[in-house]
């Protein structure tokens, strides 16, 4: 048996497929592979060159029986993702085949990896910092091209470089402050110290603010917009869901109250990821099941980032419609006037008066008209005039945003303290706090429990 620091896991999704990958990492990875793999060439794994791939078989070393036909990749540290020796076994993708290969690897000295442990080792071994490690899971979970590009930029270290530059600026300023404190006999030292701090703190604050400006769009790209479709029964909410998803996910009938619960789907609208929620029609009802659906609709409405309020062009504006306008007045919403293929009964001037500057889009979902206009309105509402993901360092992670907000507060305290004449050694405390908070983003100063929590969100083989 080898030391317990050699880990193994299946790195591909479970199920039937052409190929599955069992990955090992650690000091014992090559020796374990040497025991279970027989190369067609007869070469031993321990003698193989790094970054080479070899054809052969996984062998049950107790019975000399062939377990599976595989391709084995040898990657020697430190030129690997984890900076340790890594072995990847490409075997057949059946459930039995891949599990048998994993079992033989574990039986010969490896242990099953914890969720995210490969990426955790890359972080702990200095291969990547914490923000880059978190970007790995963002790449895996990306739902749009924009989200993918943003995650790749962060994984490459774009945010890390900016944070490190900010921390270096703070460190140099702290060093200058220490010089002034330690050598007070020099003339006008106090004035020079305050001047340095004001200039540096103002610049650092501006850089932090710029990052926070991108955080709203970055968070949208990473997590998606929670988008709720609301309206009276039978105005076309389920038809709208089906049109955006381009699938018949919701039942569509002429009977009011057909949708009894919240239906959730994920859709990409011109690069904006939407977590789309179709709700039960909001109205007063005696039907107990429908009433439960209405209450759930009101609950998800309170948590939404975007509201799609659907009206019927073939009906006059009702008190229930006006109540919905009142419910969403302080939120981001788009009004969709549906069924324009039917005779006009809705007062559009009245609708535009109620919406103010909010977008109003007319559609006939039955005839597939106006959906493109709606998609453009959604994209413009959140990305109008903004730069593309490749042009800015976007902040999308909730943890990063919270730390940047705290860092901004700390640097504000520095500026206030200078203006009010607080002694320079006290001001230094807030400046040091800013430096520490920025360090938490890239993992320079972070508790082990937080690291464990972050990596537990990963899949086993990553």
- The CATH superfamily of 226-383 is P-loop containing nucleotide triphosphate hydrolases (3.40.50.300)
**pLDDT number for residue 322:** 86
Q: How far is CA 269 from CA 178, 225, 244, 379, in A?
A: 53, 10, 8, 7
> DSSP readout, 420-435?
TT--HHHHHHHHHHHH
CB within 8 Å of 296: residues ≥ 6 apart = 261, 262, 279, 280
85 phi and psi, to 5 degrees? Answer: -65, 135
* DSSP code of residue 47: G
Half-sphere exposure of 83 (CA within 13 A, CB side): 10
β partners of residue 248: none
* Nearest residue to 2 via CA among 131, 111, 160: 111
Give the pLDDT of residue 243: 83
Q: Which DSSP helix (H) or strand (E) runs through 291?
A: helix 288-302
Which among 18, 133, 12, 24 has a CA at the least distance from the CA of 69? Answer: 18
> How many of the other CB atoms lie within 10 Å of CB of 458?
21
Cβ atoms within 10 Å of 101's Cβ, excluding its own:
25
Give start-end residues of each CATH 3.30.1360.120 domain in the chain. Answer: 7-124
- Cβ atoms 442, 131 nearer than 8 A: yes
pLDDT in tens, 282-304: 444 444 444 555 566 566 676 77
In CATH terms, the fold of domain 7-124 is: Gyrase A; domain 2 (3.30.1360)
- Residues with Cβ within 8 Å of residue 402, at least 6 apart in sequence: none
Determine phi and psi for 138, rounding to 5 degrees: -65, -40
Which residues contact residue 38 at a Cβ distance below 8 angstroms, ignoring those fewer than 6 apart? 56, 57, 59
Sheet of strand 86-92: strand arrangement: 37-39, 52-60, 65-75, 86-92, 19-25, 7-10, 111-112
Provide CATH code, domain 133-220+394-455. 1.20.120.430
Cα angle 227, 232, 236; round to 5: 70
As annotated, the residues of the chain forming the CATH 1.20.120.430 domain(s) are 133-220+394-455
- The tokens for 86 are 């890594």
> Distance between the two ends of the chain, CA-based, in angstroms?
24
DSSP helix/strand/coil, 279: coil
d(CA 214, CA 237): 32
Segments of the chain with pLDDT less than 70? 1-4, 179-193, 247-264, 278-300, 302, 383-393, 445-451, 453-455, 457-462
Predicted TM-score of the model (pTM) = 0.64
Supply 120's token pair.
């955790």
User: Which residues of the chain are in CATH 3.40.50.300 domains?
Assistant: 226-383
Order of strands, sheet of 272-278, starting from the edge strand that comes earlier in the sequence? 263-269, 272-278, 225-231, 306-312, 333-338, 360-362
């Amino acid at each position: 048996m080898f030391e317990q620091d050699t880990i193994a896991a299946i790195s591909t999704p479970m199920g039937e497929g052409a190929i599955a990958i069992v990955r090992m990492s650690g000091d014992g990875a090559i020796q374990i592979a040497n025991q279970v793999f027989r190369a067609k060439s007869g070469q031993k794994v321990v003698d193989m060159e790094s970054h080479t791939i070899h054809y052969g078989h996984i062998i049950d070393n107790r019975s000399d029986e062939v377990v599976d036909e595989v391709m084995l990749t040898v990657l020697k540290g430190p030129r690997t993702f984890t900076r340790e020796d890594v072995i990847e076994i490409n075997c057949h993708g059946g459930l039995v085949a891949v599990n048998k290969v994993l079992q033989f690897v574990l039986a010969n000295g490896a242990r099953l990896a914890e969720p995210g442990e490969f990426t955790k080792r890359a972080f702990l071994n200095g291969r990547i910092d914490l923000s880059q490690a978190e970007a790995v899971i963002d790449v895996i979970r990306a739902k749009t091209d924009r989200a993918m590009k943003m995650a790749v930029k962060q994984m490459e270290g774009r945010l890390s470089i900016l944070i490190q530059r900010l921390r270096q600026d703070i460190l140099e300023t702290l060093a200058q402050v220490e010089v002034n404190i330690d050598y007070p006999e020099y003339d006008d030292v106090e004035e020079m110290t305050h001047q340095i701090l004001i200039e540096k703190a103002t610049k650092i604050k501006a850089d932090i603010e710029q990052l926070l400006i991108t955080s709203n769009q970055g968070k949208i790209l990473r997590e998606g917009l929670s988008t709720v479709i609301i309206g009276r029964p039978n105005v076309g909410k389920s038809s709208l869901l089906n049109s955006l998803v381009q699938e018949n996910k919701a039942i569509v009938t002429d009977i009011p109250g057909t949708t009894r619960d919240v239906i959730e789907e994920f859709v990409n609208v011109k690069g904006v990821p939407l977590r789309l929620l179709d709700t039960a029609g909001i109205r007063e009802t005696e039907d107990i099941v429908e009433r439960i659906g209405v209450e759930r609709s009101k609950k998800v409405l309170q948590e939404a980032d975007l509201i799609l309020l659907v009206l019927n062009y073939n009906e006059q504006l009702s008190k229930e419609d006006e109540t919905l306008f009142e419910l969403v007045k302080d939120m981001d919403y788009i009004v969709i006037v549906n069924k324009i293929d039917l005779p006009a009964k809705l007062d559009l001037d009245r609708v535009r008066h109620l919406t103010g500057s909010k977008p109003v889009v007319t559609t006939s979902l039955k005839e597939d008209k106006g959906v493109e206009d709606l998609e453009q309105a959604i994209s413009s509402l959140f990305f109008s005039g903004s730069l593309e993901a490749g042009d800015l360092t976007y902040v999308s992670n909730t943890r990063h945003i919270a730390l940047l907000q705290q860092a901004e507060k700390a640097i504000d305290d520095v500026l206030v303290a200078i203006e009010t004449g607080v002694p320079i050694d006290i001001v230094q405390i807030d400046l040091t706090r800013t430096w520490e908070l920025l360090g938490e983003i890239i993992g320079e100063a972070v508790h082990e429990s937080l690291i464990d929590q972050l990596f537990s969100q990963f899949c086993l083989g990553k």
